[in-house]
Every structure is written in C-alpha cells, then in structure tokens.
C-alpha cells in the first residue's frame, strides 16, 4: 500500500480519536449545564440582547419564561461539610436545615432543624430565615426579612456556604 | 425590597403555572450516539490495522465489529431498562477503550502470522482477539448482572463484612495454592484450574472497596472523634481503626507473599483515598504516604524481586537487566514519536508482554504521543464521571463507594502508565479495558456498572410527594 495513503489513514485515525474525546467533553459540558439545546439557544439569545447597546429594559411579565432563563439554575454548596453538592433549581422552593425532609439536609452543628428557605419570585431567588438560632447571612448581612439573592453571592448558614450559579 | 413584602405569594409550591424546568435527564440518546461512535472507532482501528499490516481489510473484521456492536447494544438496552438516569458517558468511554484494546490485540496476534511482517509473539495465541471479544461478552453479562442485582447501592452495605471476607479469601487463595496452580510469569496471583485461569485480585479490589465503604460509613462519626493527638495529628481510637487496619495489613501481606507489588500499591492507595474521603483528614494522607515510602524501602531491601524493580527503574538500559522490556517499551514509544507509526506499522512485538502490561507502550509506538494522550484523557474522563457521581449522590455509602472505585481506577492507570514510562518503579498490573485478560476486563465492567448504579441514584428525580406537606400521608401496605 502507498505509504502516503497509510500516513493519511493514520492521521485520520488520530483525528477521529480526538474527535471522540471532544464529543465526550461536549456531553460533559451539556450535562454540567443540564439544559436542552432549545433553552440554551434562548439563553444565548438573551445574552446577546444584554450585550446590545442599552436596550430599554423590557417590562417582563412577572412569570414569563425569558426572565427565568437568565436567572440562577443551580444552588451550589461552596463551604462546609457538604461542599460540592449541587441542586438543580426548579420552580419549587428549597428548604434548608437539619430536618431529614429538607431539600438540602445539612449536617452542620450550627444550623437549625428548619433553618431557612429559598424560593423563586418573579424570576429571582429569595432567601428567608425561618427563625433559626444562629441566623442566616447574605454575604455579610444578616437576613432578618426575605432578601433577594443575586447570583454568586454567598449565603452563610452555620458553617455552610451556599451560592447560586447560572 | 417592597416587592418582597409578601413572600408567600411567590412561594414555589403555589406556582403551578410556571415554566417547567427540565428534570434531570437520562440522556440515553447521547449515550447511544457516543456508543455508535466508539464502535465506529473500533471498525476504523481494524481497517487501519489491516491496511498497515498487509494492505487488506482483515478477513474477520465483520465478526469482530458486529460482535462488539451487538454486545454494546445489549449493554445500552440494559442501561435503558435498569438504570435510565445513569451517567451517559461511562458506558461509551469504557466501550471505546475495550474496542481499541481488541483491535490492538488483533494487531499483535497477527504480527508474524500468515504473510504479515514482524515477529510472532510467543505468549499470544492465534485467536487472542477472539478470546478477548468473548471475555468482553462475559464482562457485559457481568455488567448487566450487577445492574440487575444491585438495584440500589445501599443494598451492598448490608453485606459489608461478608463481602470483605470473601474479598480477603479471594486474595489469599493464590498464596496458599502451590505454584503450579497459581503462578504465571513469576506473579503468584492466579487460580489455575484445568485450562482456565482467574486472577482473583481484580475482583477482590471491588469487594474490598465495598467493605471499606460500608465500614467507614457506619463508623464515620466515631472515626471523626479524635482519640490521641500526636504531633498535631488527630488519631482515631485504636479499637475503631482496628478492623480496617487488620484488613489492610492482611491484604498487603498476602500481596507481598504473592510477589505482586502493583496490586498491593493499588490496595494501599484505595484504602488511603477512602479513609481520606470518609474522615476528611489530610493528616492521613501524610501518614499514609510516609508509611508507603517506608514500606517500599524495607521491601526493596528484604525482597530480591522488589529490589530488582528499583535497580531497573534507575538503570533501565543497563546490560544484563532481566526486565529488558522496560527499555524495549521506552524505545518503542520513542520510535513512535509525536504521531506514531500508524496501526500495524510499528514494531511493538519487540516488547515482551506488550499485549498485557505493556499495551500502553504499544499504543504509544503506533499512535504516538497524540494517541496516547487521547487514551489517557478517556481514562481521565471515566474517573471524572465516577467522582462526579460520588459528589452528586446523597447516600454516604454510595458516595464513598463511587469515590473509592473511581480513585482505584485512577491509581491503577497511574501505576501502570507511570511504570512503563519510567516515572515510578515498574510493577506488573493490567491496564483497565485495554490489556489482554478476562479477569481484569470482567472486573472493570463490574466497576463501571457500580459507578453507573451510583450515578443513576444521584440523577434520579426525587419521588413526588403523595400529598401536601403537613397532612397525614397514606402509606399503602402492599
């Protein structure tokens, strides 16, 4: 067989091998952001809109789809014994505490049984302290009334730190 | 903040009309596509081998590829049925490595046979690739079996001590058996019955991982209570650590007695990693690594064959080395360079045992650094998916089991690839999925099944509450 052809086959095989690796990483990627392609397109579109020079903020209907698309999708534990735990946010509220029926069951000595809850409102996530002993902190501020949680701002419960991620 | 004055109106439970957010998906179709890709790569590899060897497409091509494709389809259907939410990548990644391994074994078996160039490999039969395909069938059957029997990872924790005992017995059998029934190429790690041989250590690895996970979980709270404090390190009480240390020491003694340092290093690493995951104490890692270095030094001085490995590590090209294969493997990889010689066009047959311990040098020679990196990345992705499942699952036993199994895979790859590339002293240990050999293949498919079971558990949508919170729930006694 012609050595040149063999070389081409060799290079093609290596390319296919790497294509497999890249495809696998692609599956990991979509898995990580756990969203169907149509939603991703919408999100990309909304990103584009944000980058466009100062469009007048559209008056979003309170429960419209696009407002949710740009909002947080995951609740990530960034500190404490549950570090690394991720909860995919749905439209359900998330209860946090040591009670076994909480959405996020803490094993934190400084957390109360029903410590706090996170719930969605108008596409934003709100944290509310449920009368805990040691309090809930949004960044450095104590949560005394329901407060909106921006993406990436740490919420502290005892030794546990939570964060919303897109 | 005025909009938030009435938080209950926005509470999640009252928002029935909101846009449904996608539930965690099984992504079985992505798995199927990747699986088809993996089979296509195997087909391509076979064609490449044929053209490289003698310019013809191999005669048995249809048999190998179709057989492999049917097996993988069966595994996929079983996953759809038994673990529909499991990680979509674990199966295709394992399949890809398994297929590549069969193609490489076929290439080595054909070397020097018929009119093909190269030297015939004496330790490889003329139907080695077919045997490997049959072992793949056994492996896939085991994979489906594990998925079917272990419907929840927690089930395994009921048999912690039973499985741990079986694991130790499996490890010990080759040490007790006479050499004629247990020794292959100097390593006394086999059970040979008739024409059939099994390497029980591969299975013992899984059983001991289950034992460590079950034990460490039930004793987690006690273990995190500090006993004595010693140079800034908290030691747990001896009676809590006792059983684990006994199992570990026993497995190490058995392995040293069986002259299998690679597997002993693997067990040590598995034990250390799981202890670290369970207790979250970095001090254990330091103690463990120091203990390991000490043990390695003592073993190198006490046991001749361990000392030999160190000599070989320092001077692989010295004359009179009985393990010339390390030098051969290194030269093979150097010969391959960045892009490799192409499948079927190198001379991997010059390295002794290139079909099992040294298969990575064979790939390094024929696919070059480029191909080797791709293979290592695929191993890395398997480990990553395993650790990901471990992070995501809530059950602490499953968490520890998946973490331990994923880590043991990582250590095994590090030990063998580090060994053949002269990074660490060479120890004979199989390369998961690639090496020729049934025990290793079947055991690793079982590991993938367990990891998929854990990831299925982690990704499964939470069961819907029957009624509203706060009301009495009706429990049906079936």
Report CB contact under 8 Å: A21, B378: yes
Query: A with B: how many residue pairs have Cβ under 8 Å apart?
Result: 151
pLDDT digits (tens, 9 = 90+) for B360-391: 999 999 999 999 999 999 999 999 999 999 99
Average pLDDT over residues A81-98: 83
Average pLDDT over residues B67-77: 97
Question: Rounded to a whole number, what is the distance in Å from the CA of A68 to chain B's nearest CA?
Answer: 8
Check residue B213 and give its pLDDT: 93
Asked whether residue B459 carries a pLDDT value surpassing 50, the answer given is: yes
DSSP string of B32-88?
HHHHHHHHHHHHHHHHHHHHHHHSS--TTHHHHHHHHHHHHHHHHHHHHHH-TTS-S
Q: What six digits make up the tokens of B115?
A: 């009119």
Nearest chain B residue to A38 by CA: give it: B22
Reported as a pLDDT band with limits 50, 70 and 90, residue B478 is: low
Main-chain phi, psi angles of B329, to 5 degrees: -65, -45
Q: Which of residues 98-117 of A touch B (CB under 8 A)?
A: 101, 105
- CB-CB: which of A27, A65, A148 is closest to B30? A27
Report CB contact under 8 Å: A148, B89: no
Check residue B231 and give its pLDDT: 66
Q: Is the ipTM of this complex over 0.85?
A: yes
Sign of CA dihedral A99, A100, A101, A107: positive
Average pLDDT over residues B181-210: 81
Asked whether residue A60 carries a pLDDT value surpassing 50, the answer given is: no
> Hey, of A41, A74, A84, A91, which one would you mutate to test binding to chain B, going by the most B CBs within 10 A of its CB?
A91
Check residue B18 and give its pLDDT: 39
Q: Is B186 exposed, middle or buried (0-12, 13-18, 19+ CB in 10 A)?
A: exposed
Average pLDDT over residues B290-300: 79
Reported as a pLDDT band with limits 50, 70 and 90, residue B6 is: very low
- Specify whether the CB–CB gap between A70 and A57 falls below 8 A: no
Average pLDDT over residues B254-269: 77
Check residue B229 and give its pLDDT: 66
Reported as a pLDDT band with limits 50, 70 and 90, residue B182 is: confident
Query: Is A1 in CB contact (< 8 Å) with chain B?
Result: yes
Asked whether residue B122 carries a pLDDT value surpassing 60, the answer given is: yes
Could you tell me the pTM of the whole model?
Answer: 0.77
Percentage of chain B modeled with pLDDT above 70: 84
Contacts B21 to A, Cβ<8 Å = 68, 73, 88-91
Average pLDDT over residues A73-80: 85
**Distance (Å, whole) CA B447 – CA B435:** 16
Check residue B1 and give its pLDDT: 36
Report CB contact under 8 Å: A147, B4: yes
Report CB contact under 8 Å: B339, A91: no
Question: Rounded to a whole number, what is the distance in Å from the CA of A14 to chain B's nearest CA?
Answer: 6
3-class SS shares of chain B: helix, strand, coil, % to 5: 65, 5, 30
| Residue B230 β-bridge partners | B233
Q: What is the residue-averaged pLDDT of chain B?
A: 84
> Hey, of B1, B6, B7, B58, which one would you mutate to test binding to chain A, going by the most A CBs within 10 A of its CB?
B7
Check residue B15 and give its pLDDT: 36
Q: What six digits make up the tokens of A149?
A: 């949680």
Contacts B87 to A, Cβ<8 Å = 31
Check residue B386 and give its pLDDT: 95
- CB-CB: which of A9, A21, A84 is closest to B51? A9
More confident residue, B225 or B41: B41
């Amino acid at each position: 067989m012609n050595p040149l052809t063999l070389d081409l086959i060799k290079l093609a095989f290596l390319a296919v091998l790497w294509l497999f690796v890249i495809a696998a990483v692609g599956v990991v990627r979509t898995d990580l952001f756990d969203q169907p392609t149509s939603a991703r397109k919408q999100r990309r579109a909304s990103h584009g809109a944000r980058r466009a020079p100062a469009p007048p903020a559209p008056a979003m209907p309170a429960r419209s789809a696009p407002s949710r698309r740009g909002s947080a999708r995951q609740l990530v534990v960034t500190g404490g014994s549950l570090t690394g735990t991720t909860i995919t946010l749905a439209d359900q509220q998330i209860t946090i505490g040591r009670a076994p029926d909480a959405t996020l069951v803490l094993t934190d000595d400084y957390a109360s049984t029903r410590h706090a809850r996170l719930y969605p409102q108008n596409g934003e996530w709100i944290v509310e302290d449920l009368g805990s002993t040691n309090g809930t902190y949004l960044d450095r501020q104590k949560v005394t009334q329901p407060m909106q949680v921006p993406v990436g701002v740490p919420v502290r419960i005892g030794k546990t730190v939570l964060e919303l991620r897109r | 903040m005025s909009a938030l004055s009435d938080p209950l109106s926005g509470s999640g439970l009252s928002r029935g009309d909101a846009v449904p957010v996608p539930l965690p998906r099984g992504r079985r179709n992505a798995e199927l596509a990747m699986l088809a890709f993996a089979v296509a790569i195997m087909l391509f590899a076979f064609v490449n081998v044929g053209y490289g060897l003698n310019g013809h497409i191999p005669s048995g091509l249809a048999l190998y590829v179709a057989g492999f494709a049917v097996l993988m389809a069966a595994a996929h259907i079983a996953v759809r049925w038994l673990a529909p939410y499991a990680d979509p990548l674990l199966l295709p990644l394992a399949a890809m490595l398994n297929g590549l391994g069969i193609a490489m074994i076929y290439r080595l078996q054909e070397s020097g046979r018929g009119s093909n160039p190269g030297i015939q490999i004496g330790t490889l039969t003329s139907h080695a690739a077919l045997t490997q395909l049959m072992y793949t069938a056994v492996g896939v059957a085991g994979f489906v079996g594990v998925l079917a029997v272990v419907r929840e990872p927690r089930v395994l924790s009921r048999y912690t001590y039973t499985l741990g005992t079986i694991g130790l017995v499996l490890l010990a059998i080759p040490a007790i058996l006479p050499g004629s029934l247990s020794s292959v190429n100097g390593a006394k790690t086999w059970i040979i019955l008739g024409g059939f041989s099994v390497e029980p250590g591969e299975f013992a690895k899984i059983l001991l991982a289950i034992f460590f996970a079950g034990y460490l979980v039930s004793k987690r709270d006690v273990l995190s209570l500090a006993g004595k404090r010693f140079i800034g390190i908290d030691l747990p009480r001896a009676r809590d650590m006792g059983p684990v240390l006994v199992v570990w020491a026993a497995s190490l003694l058995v392995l040293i007695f069986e002259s299998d340092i690679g597997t002993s290093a693997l067990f040590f690493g598995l034990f250390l990693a799981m202890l670290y995951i369970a207790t979250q104490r970095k001090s254990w890692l330091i103690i463990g690594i120091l203990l390991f270095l000490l043990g390695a030094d003592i073993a190198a001085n006490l046991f001749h064959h361990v000392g030999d490995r160190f000599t070989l590590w320092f001077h692989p090209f010295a004359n009179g080395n009985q393990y010339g294969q390390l030098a051969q493997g290194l030269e093979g990889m150097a010969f391959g360079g960045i892009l490799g010689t192409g499948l079927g066009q190198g001379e991997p047959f010059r390295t002794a045992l290139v079909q099992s311990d040294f298969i990575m040098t064979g790939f390094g020679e024929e696919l070059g650094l480029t191909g080797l990196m791709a293979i290592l990345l695929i191993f890395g992705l398997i480990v990553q998916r395993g650790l990901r499942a471990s992070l995501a699952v809530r059950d602490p036993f499953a968490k520890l089991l998946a973490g331990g199994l994923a880590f043991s895979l990582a250590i095994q790859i590090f030990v063998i690839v580090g060994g053949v590339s002269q990074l660490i002293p060479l120890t004979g240990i199989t390369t998961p999925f690639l090496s020729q050999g049934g025990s290793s293949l079947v055991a690793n498919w079982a590991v993938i099944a367990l990891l998929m079971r854990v990831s299925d558990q982690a990704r499964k949508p939470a069961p819907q509450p029957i009624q509203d919170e706060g009301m009495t729930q009706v429990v049906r006694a079936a």
